[in-house]
A = this chain, B = another copy of it.
């Protein structure tokens, strides 16, 4: 165990129809006018947006609307949101959607109170010191953004997918109704599963061995994600599996599993950010390509953790067998495991490595993740 601080003040309201409580939650927190942020048509078609509007109206809250957030949310649209939030003097952001909408909501919450361009925070040139309060209604379980202080935005001009992590952007209230996720299609269900697993295994494999509680929390989460994903792919309306998957994905990145494990890094996310920044593929699809390759390249550096994972997740004896089993499971649920499956040409590996190395440098892991090493990892995914 290493020293740590843990402070996660987000209030989770979990269950059927709980989105109807959003108006009263906002009123209780003193809000009268909010920016209602959402993505594409699905929240309109499903009727969710209308239910949210009704809850706001019934509580006497004005909702200034901004739709059109895209997956891998982009800087240009974020800037629009910042401008709108400032102009309309909203006192909070209400993000309704998946991780992309929530992440952009966090960016807008920061930008609305800042005197400088929002990208400066993501590119490491400014530190987040305040943000508008954020409220969320989640429609896809995957990123954990509903209960953490992380946000990832893509700068379309520079092709950089960069992040912030700040205590100021934890959502104040997040409403999780697992029924809203029943319509998530099989491919995105699979990508979400990969993402949730990726969130817990980054720390597991890059930390020192020895923190057994945290190891067990990680394998508990991985096993539950795998089990519930298989159930959901067999029956997309499996209510128990959808609910369990949703809460598990939240716990996968809410600060619980890394608390006390000491130094660790996020190399798979680092490399994947370049794939989705350059090719606009779903984050989870990029991760299922990167993870097996990275594991094959890295496992000699931390054999105890790889053996533990193989044993506790798959009942297998060697680290290599565990790596193969995870890769096969990614393939079985329909997530790509090689670059070409996502339409990424092997000839681009050097270009991807250069992009990823910039982020590695920003994250302070550029010494290990040189362009050469990143290229070597990517060649294992070719």
Contact = CB atoms under 8 A, between A and B. Distances in A.
A105 B210 CA distance: 35
Given A211-B244, A212-B244, A227-B212, A11 B7 contact: yes
Nearest to A147: B6
B14 A6 contact: yes
Taken together, the copies of this chain in the complex come to 2
Given A3-B14, A6-B12, A6-B14, A247 B260 contact: yes
A234 to B, nearest CB: 16
A351 interface: no
A224 to B, nearest CB: 4
Interface size class for chain A?
A: 35 or more
Contact of A220 (B11, B15, B213, B247): B213
B14 A260 contact: yes
A353 to B, nearest CB: 37
A3 B12 CA distance: 10
Interface string A236-257: 0000100110011001000010
Interface of A: 1-16, 18, 178, 210-213, 216-217, 219-221, 223-224, 227, 240, 243-244, 247-248, 251, 256, 259-260
24 contacts: A1-B14, A1-B243, A2-B15, A3-B15, A4-B12, A4-B14, A4-B15, A5-B14, A6-B11, A6-B12, A7-B10, A8-B8, A9-B9, A12-B259, A211-B244, A212-B224, A212-B244, A213-B248, A216-B220, A216-B224, A217-B220, A243-B260, A244-B260, A247-B260
- The list of the 5 closest CB pairs from A to B, nearest first, reads A3-B15, A216-B220, A1-B243, A7-B11, A6-B12
